Structure 1
Amino acid sequence: MADPVRSDTFDKLRQVLVGLRRRIRRYVLIEGISLTVCVLGTLFWVSLLLEWGYFRLSNFEPPIALRAILIIGGIALTVGTAGVWVISRLLRNMQLRSLAMVLERRFPQLDDRLILAVETSESPDEATTRMNRILTDRAIGEVVDLLPTLRIGDVFDALPLRRAALAALVLIASIAVFGATNADAMSTWWRAFVGFEDAYRMRATRLTTSAVLPPDERVVRLNPESPLKHPRGGDLSLLIEVSDTPRPDGAEWVIPEQVTVYSRDGRGASSVVPAVQVGETQFRVVIEEVVDDLRLWVSGNDYTDRVPYVVQIVDAPRMDSAALAILYPAYMQRNRQDEDGGPIPDATPLTGPAVEIPVESYFDFEITFNKPMLNARVRFGGDELTIGDFRDSTGDAERSFRAAYVVEGIEGEPPTRTLLEENWARGLWDETRTRLTLPLLVTDAARGVISEPPEGRPGPVGQPLFAVPPDVLMRLWVEDFDEIATVEPVRIELRAIPDLPPEINTRPTGIGGLITRTAVIPVAGQVRDDFGIRDAQFEYQLQAKSAPDDAPQAGWIPRTLRRPPSGLPTVFELGRSDDEEYEWLDTAPLDLELGDVLSVVVIAEDANDLIGPQVTRGEVFQFRVVTAEELLGVLFNAELNQRKTFEQVIEEIEDVRTDLSGAIENATKVSTLRESGDRDELRTAVLAVRRSADRAYAELSQNRQSTATIADEFRQIFQQLVNNRIHTEAQLERIDSRILEPLDMLVDNSFPAATDSVAEIRRADRETRPVEPYLRRSIDQVEDMLRTMREVLDEMQSLADMQEALQELSSIYKDLSDVKAKTKEEQKRDILNNLGGGLFE
């Protein structure tokens, strides 16, 4: 049976130990909660600092994933702290024996008696001897008496608990004060780590970025979700502006001191480009020669783009090729014909910045581009064609097809705008929008959009076309489907080849300013025209000597050519036949009188039936009609002058012979001194030979030209004798065979041979060969020339004697005619006197 006293004692011991257990758990709970609060507070401040630092460094909110990781890690740390410092310690099994041991360690005076009491209470041993039981009860009684005297609280170390609680209180207080004094920051933290918002910070600056697109400086707002198409190699111009939207807190947006653009291309290369402030709230930056795709971030003050802008590089619009299909005016006869007789356009590729087209020609100008095009603008001087899809004047993103032709006003008049029929205008583009065909007519007869070609002009009938003025600069701008427009226009100079009047270049040949009444007037030369000569002929005008000064001038009388132009040649050579390279006007049928003045001209006309035909008059040649005797006298004087000149040539050639003959002695000396002799004497002899050869070479060259001139002059005399019909066959044969032929032989053979021989003297001297043989050969050739020249001079003298005799005979004949005329006058006067004496006395 249980001992009531002993049971009561055990109850008292259990109460003490259970109280200790309760106090231990309260301690653990308070400490664990404090530490958990410390972890939570620390996590708050750490997350707050990390978020602030990340934003300051990058101007970005930390990524949601990073914040989530931080929160999850914080929760895990908090739960772990609570689990370790609270839950696990509270759930720990604290038996009475363990509690007794705690008290035994803290209070040594218990002397293991408390342990004995706890063990006895847990496992009483009925078989224990009475003595042991007595001793045990005594020990338990002593413990029971001693326990009230113990300070159970001394078992606990209060310092860690105080520290933990103080730290927790400080953290809670700091967070409370921070939240009360900086509600915005607390709200930021809440939105960042509780709300997990993507963009939650209130920035002082907000920037918007736009691209400035050439050529009209159009501003396009960039969108991170829509790449900006940019031409390869072009400069990218960005306009960065402080936002004009209201700031949420009602304050003004802060203008940053510096704006920076960060870029990264497709190869991973990065660059930093500072912007330049161009206005109070505007900044400008230019990235030059962009050739790779880019990603761009704009940063200024506390703002940085979260999502980069994407720049996609594409090929710039350009003209790949161009070709012209030309139809020429019919009168030019340049169009090839098909089987049905219709004209075939002349296909001409454009190979340079200019193209030449005959005026009044029609052509389809086919332009091929490297990619499909939205629209095109073509300017012809001051006129402009717009065709394609355009935005309206407000810049609306919706495009509509428009086609119009504007003709520049003249002398202050307003321009004229013509809308083109849409279906027809769309047809100027091909289905792929990579080819544009412009129907053009180069003309002065119309301008702008015309319904059909003017009369006589080539081109499609019943279809509109564009009439452009001649010699106009064509400028072409295009915009492709990437909305990239050409900055600089394609320039093509349309050079109109005008149909100028024929150009006449003629001259009388074999005739002088004096002619006989039966002369023929040969005219040589050519007529040129751009596109063909339809007709050419002589015209002559006669001014009679007997006409009074105030008499009206006679008109021009046409005279056809023996061989007029045929087939619209662009170059027409005057010629009676293939052997006669001249046309002539025969004056015999004109009944010329002595003293009359005959004017002769060649006229030509082209085949231009649009503005012509155009007629050109060549140079007017005037001739005075004289007697044969007077003309022979003039020719005799000309021959006399040439004979004197020829005598001078002979004298100079004789001097050449003398100079060369004198050089033989020095040439012989040179040969001797080269073998052995005085070097100075050798040098003197060599120089003497060289000077003789140089003088001979110069004289021979000059006199050859003089002889050729004399031959030409005698040939003119010969031709004038023939053309004026005052020659005899014997006279012509003598001039031709005894003067002209020898002179031609001298010019073509003798002079060149002698000159070459003299040149050989100089070469032999330079090569230290004997020069004497060449000297003697040159002298022999000069002797032969002189012999021929003297024969020609003798013939000239004989001809002069004959001409002089003819002049004397002519003078005698004239004197006899005058005497005869005077005798008749005297006889008439005597008869009248005799008759008058009888009748009028």
Structure 2
Amino acid sequence: MPANRPLDPKLTSLLENLRGRVRRYVVWDSALAIAAVILAAFWIGLALDYLPVQLGGTEMPRLARMLLLAVVAAVVIAITALMLVGRLRRPLPDDSLALLVERHHPTLGGRLVTAVQLSRPRREGDSHSAALLNHVHREAAAEIDKVDPGKVFRWQPLVRKAMVAGPLAILSLGLLIISPSSFARAASRLTLLSDEPWPRRAHLEMVGVELPIVTAVESDISAPKLIEFNDAKTVRLPRGSNPTLRIRADAETSELPIVCIVYYHTDGGTRGQSNMRRVGRITDGYQSFVLDGPPLTGLSESMTLDVRGLDDRLDDFRIEAITPPALTEMKVSVRYADYLRGEGSGDVDLETDYQSGLRISEGSQVTMVATSSEPLGDTEVVLKTVTDKPQPFTLAYSDDRRQLRLTMDNFDAATTVSLVPADADGISAQAPYRYFLGVVLDQPPELEMRLSGIGSAVTPIARIPVTATVVDDYGVERLTISVTPSKGEDAEAGADDTEAAGSKTASVSPKLSRDGEAKTELDLRDLVADGSLPELVPGGAINVIGEASDLYDLAGKHLTRGEVFRLEVVTPEQLLARLERNELALRSRLEQTIDETRNLRETLNLLRRGFNEDESNLDETEQTRQQQIRRLRTQQSGLQASKTSEELSGIAESLDDILREMVNNRVDSLDRQERIGEGVRDPLRLIVNEPLARLRDQIIDIERSVNDSADAMAKTTVSIETADEVIARLTEVLDKMLDLESYNEILDIVRELIEDQDELLKDTKDERKKRVLNLFD
């Protein structure tokens, strides 16, 4: 077997050169691929990060940039591992390189491969001659100068990669030269070295949310409260509120947007946009924009807001709608004032749910307990009374802060309680809760007093019957009826007359019934006899006054004075003269009543003649008219009969008052009582109850039968007879009153004679005194 000879140096040089060129090819191919990937990722990332800004969007978030950087790093590592390191680590044997060269140079005819393989050291098992091997070496070495190693490589991959990396590199270099700051910002953002945003033409700043302040005072109009977004770009606002979103735009160093748009997305899935309006002028270099309409009007759900103005954006600002505390229940407990409480009363006299129109007694201790849907923070409480007088109160909370207890110790005026509940974070109700509590003021007693059987004058020995009725909310403590001498005719009647006269006052305190009624009698004779009153002289006067007080003890006492009855003190003769004048007036009234009764009788007579007329020749319309006229006359007759009855009853009552006044003044006589009572009063009452009442019923029957002329005429005839009876009996009574008047005239003559005699005796005594005095002159 021949020995292997070493490879020709030319062939060795060719193979080593080819091996080096292959490795450089691999390096350039990998480098260009890595550069293309990095540059492409740079420009793609720059486009994704910057172009949205120009379109009004925002930069790529850090997570997206981190994902892009991770992808680029993974691709570069893959290229380095597979295309560079992996291919460089592969062995390049000489025979493989020779085969590669002969593939692209067919003229070698396999000589280079044969020479390389047969010259391999420690090759065994070959059967060839040394001369043949030397001949192959010479032929291969002779052809080696014709070999072009460049034909071995495919340059298209490198060109394609260079066509991608080259322009991108030129663009990157241009960006670096033209705007180094932009290149540096892009590189730092894409490599996560910085999150500084791209510069904008416009510059927007979030100011915050203005929220109207809800107060418990109706007239209090406060400036809205500005709530700034926290670090998480979040504000908490009450549901139902009407907040105003406020931003501002830099008007000095940046371009001022014409309009700013708010894009919102509610938690309920509603999306939309609203334009903000420009407010005011540029102040301190900033222009303000506000949004005070939808979706913020009547805030009902949470939402996320983005604000856009030109190329600047304010993103991911969140408004959380929080349900404010609500007063779900209001209870009122009342403890009445001590003077209204009975023995054994508990701590609470009244406990009820609040209801409109609730009224509470004056002086009570009122406790209002409000239950809230949420734990309460500070609650604004305002109490306003109708008198504008401050109403003191105390405020307390339960341990779990779900109940509020408001206590008013002395409730004395109608009060409006206004509450604005708020939670621990200051989220308050958007309208005050108002509760109106009326007050039942303890009114002074109402006193009504009457003097029975007493006129405007009394004798010094008269009895004064007094009837009093006292009404009070919660009971009367005391009723006092007093009689006080007055100065006389020149003194004015009134409550101060007692003090002015400096006289004694006689008082009685009658016991009241359950209905608040009391009856008593002031006997002037007895009061003078026991020294309660000074001696009463005719020509003077007395005042009868009633006073009533109740149990009220909150602010002074309630004292009610009734009507002051001023009574002249007269002699019995003067009193009788007054009563006689009253009788004369009653006689005139009786005469007038008799005349009216006669007119009534004439009306009935005229009505009877109307019923007797023949109406057969009248048409239906005229007959109807005649019937209406008769019905009207009948009704007028009935009214006149009723009036006569009432007038006679009034005369009888007046006569009864005269009799009682005579009895109470102790000037009564049996003859006078019989003449007035049995002769006039009782007959008048009998006329009212019998013939006059019968006449009224008969007139009613006539009205019912007005359409039946025959029946109506018969009933009218009966009523005329009854009217004649009434007139006759009234005439008898009038005659008795005339007789009584004649008797009274005789008494007047006697009284005048007595007065003349008294005057003569007085003059005689005065003359005697003068004569005696003249004897000493």
Q: What TM-score range do you get, normalising by the shorter chain?
A: 0.7 to 0.9
Matched, 1:636 2:604: no
Alignment of 1:424-439 (within 5 A): 428-438=396-406
Distance 1:615 1:519 in 2: 29
The answer for the alignment partner of 1:620 in structure 2 is 564
Q: CA deviation at 1:524?
A: 4.5
Contact 1:100 1:115 in 2 (8 A): yes
Give yes or no for the alignment of 1:175 onto 2:120: no
Instruction: Decide whether aligned partners of structure 1 residues 739 and 592 sit closer, same or farther in structure 2, where only a CA change above 3 A counts.
Output: farther
The answer (yes or no) to whether the contact 1:335–1:344 under 8 Å persists in 2 is no
Residue 465 of structure 1: aligned partner: none
Residues 788 and 75 (structure 1), Cα distance of their counterparts in 2 relative to 1, 3 Å cut: farther
Q: 1:534 to 1:175 in 2, by over 3 A?
A: same
Once the two structures are TM-superposed, the CA of residue 472 in structure 1 deviates from its matched residue by 6.1
- Is the alpha carbon distance of 1:753 and 1:164 closer, same or farther for their aligned partners in structure 2, counting shifts above 3 Å? farther
Question: For residues 659-674 of structure 1, what are the structure 2 equivalents within 5 Å?
Answer: 659-665=606-612, 669=615
Deviation string 1:227-263 (CA, Å, 9 cap, x unpaired) is 65433323334554689xxxxxxx9798876555544
What pairs with 1:697-712 in structure 2 (closer than 5 Å)? Answer: 697-701=635-639, 703-705=641-643, 707-712=645-650
Any conservation in 2 of the 1:510–1:716 contact (CA below 8 Å)?
no
- Answer yes or no: is the 8 Å Cα contact 1:601–1:618 preserved in 2: yes
Cα distance, 1:474–1:146 mapped onto 2, change above 3 Å: closer
Give per-residue Cα distances to partners, 1:539-592, cap 9 Å, x unaligned: 33445879999x98463633425x4337xx7x733x43xxxxxx5544565676
RMSD (Å) for aligned C-alpha atoms: 5.2
Q: For residues 72 and 117 of structure 1, do their structure 2 counterparts lie closer, same or farther at Cα, with a shift above 3 Å needed?
A: same
Counterpart CA distance in 1 for 2:4 and 2:328 is 120
> Residue deviations 1:402-423, cap 9 Å, x none?
xxxx999xxxxxxxxx9x9xxx
Contact 2:62 2:192 (8 Å CA) reproduced: no
State how far apart, in whole Å, the 1-side matches of 2:480 and 2:181 are.
106
Aligned to 2:592: 645
Deviations 1:787-811 (A, max 9, x none): 4532442243133223223223323
> 1:86-130: CA deviations, max 9, x gaps?
7888869866455434345xxxxx5xx7368857987999999xx
Aligned equivalent of 1:558, options 500, 506, 513: 506
1:694 is displaced (CA, Å) by 2.2
Distance, in Å, in 2 between the alignment partners of 1:495 and 1:746 is 58
Q: Deviations over 1:425-472 (max 9, x none)?
A: 89x443233444455443xxxxxxxxxxxxxxxxxxxxxxxxx87566
Relative to the length of structure 2, the TM-score reads 0.74
> Aligned residue for 1:740?
685
Superposed, 1:272-671 pairs within 5 Å as 272-276=273-277, 277=279, 281=286, 283-286=289-292, 287-297=296-306, 304=313, 307-318=316-327, 320-330=329-339, 334-338=340-344, 344-349=347-352, 351=354, 356=359, 358-359=361-362, 361-370=363-372, 371-379=374-382, 428-438=396-406, 440-442=408-410, 475-485=418-428, 489-491=432-434, 499=442, 501-515=444-458, 520-524=463-467, 526-542=469-485, 553=501, 555=503, 557-560=505-508, 563-565=510-512, 572-573=516-517, 575-576=518-519, 583-587=520-524, 589=526, 595-608=539-552, 612-624=556-568, 625=570, 627=574, 629-665=576-612, 669=615
Contact 1:507 1:524 in 2 (8 A): yes
Q: Which runs of 5+ in 1 are unaligned?
A: 105-109, 244-250, 383-405, 409-417, 443-467, 577-582, 673-677, 763-769
Of 191-200 and 309-318, the range deviating more from structure 2: 191-200
User: Once the two structures are superposed, what CA deviation does each residue of 1:499-557 show, in whole Å capped at 9, x if it has no partner?
Assistant: 554443334455433556665545555334454432223333445879999x9846363
Q: Does 1:721 align with 2:677?
A: no
In the other structure, the counterpart of 2:730 is: 793
Cα distance between partner residues in 2 of 1:540 and 1:181 = 120
Identity of aligned residues (%): 17
> What residue number does 1:388 align with?
none
In 2, Cα distance between equivalents of 1:482 and 1:730: 96
Q: Is 84-93 or 198-207 further displaced after alignment?
A: 84-93
1:50 deviates by 0.5
Stretch deviating more after TM superposition (197-206 or 530-539): 197-206
Distance, in Å, in 2 between the alignment partners of 1:706 and 1:487 is 72
Instruction: For residue 192 of structure 2, give the secondary structure of its aligned residue in structure 1.
Output: coil
CA deviation after TM superposition for structure 1 residue 373, in Å: 2.8
Question: Match of 1:643, as an amino acid?
Answer: L
Q: 1:513/1:326 Cα in 2 relative to 1: closer, same or farther (>3 Å)?
A: same
Question: Which residue in 2 is equivalent to 1:50?
Answer: 48
AA paired with 1:802? D
Q: Describe the SS at the equivalent of 1:235.
A: coil
Write the distance in 2 (CA, Å) between the matches of 1:685 and 1:757: 17
Tell me what 1:214 maps to: 213
SS at match of 2:425: coil
2:104 alignment partner in structure 1: 102
Contact 1:639/1:714 (CA < 8 Å) preserved in 2?
A: no
User: What letter is aligned with 2:659?
Assistant: L
Shift of 1:761: 5.5
Question: How has the CA–CA distance of structure 1 residues 4 and 84 changed in structure 2, closer, same or farther, with 3 Å as cutoff?
Answer: closer
Contact 2:260 2:308 in 1 (8 A): yes
5+ residue gaps, structure 2, are 120-124, 215-221, 493-497, 529-534
Question: Cα distance, 1:46 vs. partner?
Answer: 0.7
1:718 shift after superposition: 1.7
